[in-house]
Chain A
Amino acid sequence: MPDGELHALHQQELRRGTIVLACLLILKRPNYGYALLDRLERHGFAVEANTLYPLLRRLEKQGLLTSDWNTDESRPRKFYRTSREGAALADALSLDWDEMYSAFQTLKEES
């Protein structure tokens, strides 16, 4: 096992870009901020609340997410949902991820 701090640092670098893809995949079914944070955590995508909430707004501004206020419950919540563009981007990014995975596989086989 490598040095814990160093591992955490590089792990964070490695995971940085994956949060967006994870959000786009989870939000194919509408969900709100805190529940999304919870689900991400349970799936092993550690992300801070103060990173996720601004990220959701940025993705919405880029047209990858749409949002609606749900006032059915006592606490009004903003629900986000992956838009058509968002779903297309998620497919493309998933493909990139698969390619990267097989690239790593061949690398590991060669060495």
Chain B
Amino acid sequence: MTATTPTLTDRYVDALVSRLPVKQRTDIEQELRASISDAVEHHIDAGKDPADAERAVLTELGDPARLAARYTDRSLQLIGPAVYLDYMRLLTTLLVIVVPVVAAVAGFTKLLSGQAAGIVITSTLGAAATTAIHIAFWTTLIFAFIERSSELRSATARQWTPDHLPEPSPTRRPHVATMIAEIVMAVLFAAFLLLSRTMSTQTDANGDPIEFLSPALWRDGPLYALLGIMAVGLVVTVAKTYMHWSAPVAVAGLVLNLAAAAVLVWLTSYDQLLNPAFMTAVGWPADVDRWIDLGLLIAAGIVALQGVAETVAAFVAKSFARPDWRALTHRVVDDIAEGLRRTKA
């Protein structure tokens, strides 16, 4: 071993010192070197081999990065317990509100510009993923910064009082009857759609039934998509009935509503919704399709709005209990009336 070969201690001290502020380096290095030498000597006196003694002492001191953090009181966690709850609250709130809105806007934009279904779906999912990653990254970055600044950390820590408890809801759960009605309606609708392939009021020259809906709707998949959404929707409805509150379920409900609205809009992009052969057989005028398109658009709007309103209400109340819209409207009207009276007086 030549004099220029750094010992394990040299390497340890270098690794430690490089992580310390310049002002403290010399002092801590000298003190630590003395302490290491003392400890090594102690081990050798106890009959240990010098190399083993050095190794044992350094192992006991542990990772130099951790020791450096102890010397400088540096935080070894990205986001600590003081700000973690606020971090999670902000993150979930942002994700729940912003991601579906951005995804819906991206999807509808592609849809309106007449893109194929595959492109609409991929760009919707792509926009959702990109937005979610951005939100997660920037929120984490900001909170990691707050964690590292003691002034900010104490300034942002909110005092919790019982006023922060979620509002109690008059009925804790939507009625089971509502859930059953929804399931029955969904099953009837699905049965009608599926049976319309093999049963019809009209038959052709061979006596075979004439499909009511245009076969293209089955070929391209929008009706399957609608059935799939309805199936998942039933699971969410059941979950909402038996759970008091769950953010993921609430988001799933919103996503399903928006997806259903998207499929309804997708249906209107077809020139023929009803089977032309069926129309001829019944003798319906051609512009029936136009009225159906209009109906579908209105339905899509209602489904999307209902999804957003229900989800927002559920998030505000932290409950899946059906919001009492009538009481809510009365209160808003009363508030406006009160405001008008004051401005007059």
Say whether A and B bind each other.
yes
Q: Decide if A49 touches B35 in the complex (CB within 8 Å).
A: yes
A63 within 8 A of B: no
Complex: how many Å from CA A81 to CA B239? Answer: 66
Cβ contact within 8 Å between B61 and A50? yes
Give the number of A-B contacts (CB < 8 Å). Answer: 50
Interface size on A, residues (CB 8 A): 19
CB-defined contacts of A48 to chain B, threshold 8 Å: 60
Q: Known contacts A54-B67, A57-B71, A58-B73; decide if A78 and B61 are in contact (CB<8 Å).
A: no
Q: Contacts A50-B62, A76-B30, A78-B30 given; indicate if A33 touches B35 (C-beta within 8 A).
A: yes
Interface residues, chain B, CB within 8 Å of chain A? Answer: 27-28, 30-32, 34-35, 37-39, 42, 60-62, 66-67, 70-71, 73
Does the CB pair B34–A78 fall under 8 Å? Answer: yes
- Give chain B residues whose Cβ lies under 8 Å from the Cβ of A57: 28, 71
In Å, the complex CA distance between A78 and B30 comes to 9
Q: Taking chain B's interface residues, is the majority helix, strand, or loop, or is none over half, making it mixed?
A: helix
Per-residue CB proximity of A54-70 to B under 8 Å, as 1/0? 10011000000000010
Residue of B38, B42, B60, B73 near A50 (CB, 8 A) is B60
Which residues of the other chain, B, contact A54 by a CB distance below 8 angstroms? 67, 70-71
Residues of A within 8 A of B (CB): 32-35, 37-38, 48-51, 53-54, 57-58, 69, 75-78
**27 A–B contacts from the bound complex (CB under 8 Å):** A32-B35, A32-B38, A33-B34, A33-B35, A34-B35, A34-B42, A37-B35, A38-B42, A49-B61, A50-B61, A50-B62, A50-B66, A50-B70, A53-B31, A53-B32, A53-B35, A54-B67, A54-B71, A57-B71, A58-B73, A75-B37, A76-B30, A76-B34, A77-B31, A77-B34, A78-B30, A78-B34
- Please state if A34 and B38 are interface contacts (CB–CB under 8 Å): yes
The CA-CA distance from A54 to B69 in the complex, in Å, is 9
Q: Are A49 and B39 neighbours in the complex by a CB distance under 8 Å? A: yes
Say which residue of B28, B34, B61, B71 sits within 8 Å of A32 (CB atoms): B34
List the A side residues contacting B38 at CB < 8 Å. Answer: 32-35, 75
Residues of B within 8 A of A50 (CB): 60-62, 66-67, 70
Chain A residues in 8 Å Cβ range of B61: 49-50
Nearest CB on A from B50, distance (A): 16
Output the least CB separation between A37 and chain B (Å).
8
